[in-house]
Amino acid sequence: MNLFDVYTLWDIEPVSAKGCKVWDKNGVEYLDLYGGHAVISIGHLHSHYIDKITKQIHNIGFYSNSVFNSLQTELADKLGGQSGYPDYSLFLCNSGAEANENALKLASFHTEKDKVLAFSGSFHGRTSGAVAVTNNPAIQSPFNAQHKVTFVPLNDIVAVENELKSGSYAAVIVEGIQGVAGIFEPESEFLKQLESLCKRYNAVLILDEIQSGYGRTGKFFAHQHADIRPDLITVAKGMGNGFPIGGVLISPAFEAKKGMLGTTFGGSHLACAAAIAVLDVMKAESLVENAAAVGGYLIDELSKINGIAEIRGRGLMIGVQLKPEQADLRNKLLFEEHIFTGGAKNNVMRLLPPLSISKTEATIFLQSLKKRINL
């Protein structure tokens, strides 16, 4: 059997990793400024993470959501405390798309409405509702295109109100910082007004923090820079440091009914052990603060480099806007400097390193970038 050929692959096979480093099958060492697409939060193979998962697999790896699982309540307690949402409740699932799918469904149940407002450039995943609120017709099949979704430009509050005032929207979904689009931030004032318009017109505000959350921008959630409290917050990526897990943080205004949401694998013992280990390490090693400090250093230093068109983002979610003649820069960094970076449309290099990256590692990246940028 062949693999269904949907991914463009680099000709590199990582076989081991530690912290912010990855080694390929030929023993070549790489610096990881990509984190496997914003997934590696506490660093590869952290000893506490290995320990927690190993101990758990020796006890019980999985049962089902029809029995009590105290690891789920421990995870919810820790996540509520560390994120600043102790009064919210948690629904556990397996991926980012599934988290958004459940958030959209909850918003529709709650308001008994079916329309959703989303933004130009958005990416929310590839399942039915999630891809329908993603602003990319190329990845929508005719089946997905049946949902009632309207897109308006990000940061255009007048366009938002023109839609919401009809009163027919169940939800507005927005990324904490748009990632796939190339690192574009909703302005703080825009988010504040969005929050109040959602209240006024009875639409649920869903913050997709799948890429921008879990400490990446120097606060637990990117929207906390704007001091708002969304109704629903979706998380995945960094939550399990590579173990598949996602979740929806749900405001107390939502009432749970038996059977309204569900999943076979979501919140398994093993997934919870991984996610608890992530939160433990984030707290013990002050990784949110590290993301703010090393991210701030990277953004300052990148801004001083001649030849870069623009730097966008916050903390360790950084977009480096390159010029057309620099299109090959990421390949040069990967194959000649052995540094992984992420990409985005329109010549953007995305930096999404583990939150544990040190200033020394960030400096190695900056030196390599300076060396390669104008070659």
CA–CA separation, 187 and 199 (whole Å)? 19
Q: For ligand PLP, which is the closer residue by CB, 149 or 308?
A: 149
> What is the nearest approach in angstroms of ligand PLP to the Cβ of residue 159?
21
Which residue in the set 88, 123, 184, 254 belongs to the binding site for ligand PLP (CB under 6 A)?
123
- The candidate with the shortest Cα–Cα distance to 206, out of 84, 94, 90, 102, is 102
> What is the nearest approach in angstroms of ligand PLP to the Cβ of residue 95?
4
Give, as ranges, the residues between 39 and 58 that touch ligand PLP (CB under 6 A). none
CA–CA separation, 202 and 95 (whole Å)? 28
User: Does 210 participate in binding ligand PLP (rule CB under 6 A)?
Assistant: yes
Buried-state track 161-188, b at ≥16 Cβ within 10 A, e below 16: eebbeeebbbbbbbbbbbbbbbbbbbee
CA–CA separation, 165 and 123 (whole Å)? 25
> What is the nearest approach in angstroms of ligand PLP to the Cβ of residue 180?
6
CA–CA separation, 103 and 125 (whole Å)? 13
Number of residues that bind ligand PLP (CB under 6 A): 14
CA–CA separation, 321 and 342 (whole Å)? 12
Q: Which residue is nearest to ligand PLP (CB)?
A: 96
> What is the nearest approach in angstroms of ligand PLP to the Cβ of residue 112?
25
- Binding letters toward ligand PLP, positions 162-181, x by CB under 6 A: -------------x---xx-
- Binding letters toward ligand PLP, positions 66-105, x by CB under 6 A: -----------------------------xxx--x-----
CA–CA separation, 261 and 128 (whole Å)? 16
CA–CA separation, 330 and 327 (whole Å)? 7
CA–CA separation, 225 and 218 (whole Å)? 9
Q: For ligand PLP, which is the closer residue by CB, 163 or 175?
A: 175
Which residue in the set 198, 203, 233, 236 belongs to the binding site for ligand PLP (CB under 6 A)?
236
- Binding letters toward ligand PLP, positions 285-324, x by CB under 6 A: ----------------------------------------
Q: For ligand PLP, which is the closer residue by CB, 320 or 369?
A: 320
From residue 319, how far is each of 30, 37, 306 by CA, in Å?
20, 13, 16
Long-range contact set of residues 129-137: C-beta below 8 Å, sequence gap at least 24: 129/100, 129/101, 129/104, 129/105, 130/96, 130/97, 130/100, 130/101, 130/104, 131/97, 133/100, 133/104, 133/173
Q: For ligand PLP, which is the closer residue by CB, 211 or 368?
A: 211
Binding region for ligand PLP (CB under 6 A) out of 15-23, 122-130, 248-256, 298-306: 122-130
Q: What is the largest CA-CA distance in the chain?
A: 61
CA–CA separation, 129 and 131 (whole Å)? 6
Binding region for ligand PLP (CB under 6 A) out of 40-48, 118-126, 259-267, 281-289: 118-126
> What is the nearest approach in angstroms of ligand PLP to the Cβ of residue 85?
19
> What is the nearest approach in angstroms of ligand PLP to the Cβ of residue 37?
6
Q: For ligand PLP, which is the closer residue by CB, 101 or 195?
A: 101
> What is the nearest approach in angstroms of ligand PLP to the Cβ of residue 97?
3
Residue with tokens 């000709």: 11
Strands 317-321 and 339-340: unpaired
Buried-state track 14-33, b at ≥16 Cβ within 10 A, e below 16: beebebbbbebeeeeebbbb
> What is the nearest approach in angstroms of ligand PLP to the Cβ of residue 68?
27
Which residue in the set 124, 216, 219, 312 belongs to the binding site for ligand PLP (CB under 6 A)?
124
Q: For ligand PLP, which is the closer residue by CB, 56 or 100?
A: 100
CA–CA separation, 206 and 242 (whole Å)? 24
The footprint of ligand PLP (CB under 6 A) covers 95-97, 100, 123-125, 175, 179-180, 208, 210-211, 236
